[in-house]
Structure 1
Amino acid sequence: MSSMLEIGDLHISYGQVDAVRGISLSLERGQIISVIGPNGAGKTTLLAAAMGLLPCSGTLRFEDQSLAALDVESRVERGICLVPERRELFGELSVLDNLQLGAYSRRLSRSAFKARLESVFARFKRLAERRTQRAETLSGGERQMLALGRALMSAPRLLMLDEPSLGLAPLVVREILNIVSDLRDEGISILLVEQNALAALEISDYGYVLETGEVALHGKSDSLVRDPRVRATYLGGATDDD
């Protein structure tokens, strides 16, 4: 069975600086793949290249078709969606307007749009309650929910998330990651970049550790949680008794 997303020998440079060097990873349908590592390891750069926001060399294939010649909008139409680290909401617009913009590339009929919107509001009840509020007035957790909801309006088959827990309180982080896990259970494949390594590995099927633009380790998530190097470097030296 071919992978949904296949990245092979990916290289990305900023001028003379090699930000990503020879990264390869694969993601199967219905999986959460987590990518962890320190700041500057190339995690966000990897997602940007997969979305078509940065030039790169190497292999990028989605559902066994090359992405090389496709721009960002074409990748969205294929079913790929990125929720960036800064969420990039339109703060002066309402919750409803932001969600409507998420469906723009799909050119939905009125009835299909309404059904999609009702599905998002059923998942994120706080967004339904705040549908007329400006996005800039929402809490951090609500803004992340709106960013996720906007992405879901495009009906993605592959959802790429860049630091969804950034700046959120621990209880809100757990709520957001539970939602991410639910999306996987509903058939959406997810490539998850996270600084919160333990939280990411707990909900993912497989993980990659990036260091200085390269894959330092990879394996099943439960194995990485037990790996002494991962525990010492990214999990605060936690033990099974903690």
Structure 2
Amino acid sequence: MKPILEIDDLHISYGMVEAVRGVSLSISAGEIISVIGPNGAGKSTLLNAIIGLLPSKGTLQFEGQDLHWLDVESRIEMGLCLVPERGELFGALSVLDNLRLGAYSKKLGRQVLKERLEWVYGRLPRLAERMAQRADTLSGGERQMLALGRALMSSPRLLMLDEPSLGLAPLIVKDILNIVGTLREDGVSILLVEQNARAALEISDRGYVLETGEIALTGESARLASDPRVQATYLGRDVELDELP
């Protein structure tokens, strides 16, 4: 099966500093890929380049189309979507209005918008309970759910998540990552950047270890999770999802 996202020998720089060097990565339809590694390894930089916030050199294709010549809006219209670290919500607006804004670029009719909202509420029922509440009054976990729900309103083909568990309690992390794990059933491909390496590898099909801007290891998630180097460096302090109550 041809990958929907294909990256080969990608280089990303901030001025004279090359933050990502020679990265190659691919994702197939309905696949969950995790990218783990230490802070400053270039994980967020990689996501920002894919969505078009940073320039890059090398092969960067989505469904066979070169992304280098497309702006952020065009990439979103193609089906790419990025949920940045800590999300970026409109705090003064309600949960419902934040969700509606997620579908703004799609210019959906009223009935289709209603159906999409119902689809999102079905996967994130907490948002249905909070639909009239201001976003800035939500808990940290609810805010992350809203950021995820708003992204899903755009019907993404490829959903990129940057540290969705950051700063959240373990039980909330379990809820959010379990929800992410079910999205493959809807045909959504997911590129997950996550500090909780153990949980990320548990829900993903394959993983990449990014260190100092380069891919250090790659393989099936189960194999990476059992790799002595990965265990010693990244799995020592995280809690497995099935260990939580």
> How far apart are residue 86 of structure 1 and its match?
2.1
> How far apart are residue 236 of structure 1 and its match?
1.2
- Partner SS for 2:178: helix
* Alignment length (residue pairs): 239
- Distance in 2, Cα, partners of 1:237 & 1:6: 32
> How far apart are residue 237 of structure 1 and its match?
8.2
Structure 1 residues 189-222: Cα deviation after superposition (integer angstroms, max 9, x where no partner): 0000000000000000000000000000001000
> How far apart are residue 77 of structure 1 and its match?
0.6
- Partner SS for 1:12: strand
Which 5+ residue runs of structure 1 have no aligned equivalent?
A: none
- Distance in 2, Cα, partners of 1:149 & 1:2: 28
Contact 1:13 1:20 in 2 (8 A): yes
> How far apart are residue 185 of structure 1 and its match?
2.1
Structure 1 residues 140-172: Cα deviation after superposition (integer angstroms, max 9, x where no partner): 110011001000100001100000111110011
- Partner SS for 1:29: coil
- Distance in 2, Cα, partners of 1:218 & 1:237: 21
Structure 1 residues 66-124: Cα deviation after superposition (integer angstroms, max 9, x where no partner): 11111111111111100000200111111011001100000001110011011112222
- Distance in 2, Cα, partners of 1:127 & 1:34: 26
- Partner SS for 1:151: helix
- Distance in 1, Cα, partners of 2:167 & 2:60: 31
- Distance in 2, Cα, partners of 1:176 & 1:86: 13
Aligned to 2:201: 201
Contact 2:121 2:128 in 1 (8 A): yes
Aligned to 1:69: 69
Q: Which amino acid aligns with 2:25?
A: L
Normalized against structure 1, the TM-score is what?
0.96
The yes-or-no answer on 1:185 pairing with 2:185 is: yes
Instruction: Identify the range of structure 1 (125-134 vs 206-215) with the bigger mean alpha-carbon deviation.
Output: 125-134
- Distance in 1, Cα, partners of 2:127 & 2:204: 26
Q: Which amino acid aligns with 1:156?
A: P
Contact 2:163 2:193 in 1 (8 A): yes
- Partner SS for 1:20: strand
- Distance in 1, Cα, partners of 2:163 & 2:95: 21
Normalized against structure 2, the TM-score is what?
0.95
Structure 1 residues 209-241: Cα deviation after superposition (integer angstroms, max 9, x where no partner): 000000000010000011010000001189xxx
Contact 1:231 1:237 in 2 (8 A): no
- Partner SS for 1:208: strand
- Distance in 2, Cα, partners of 1:141 & 1:76: 25
Identity across matched positions, percent:
73
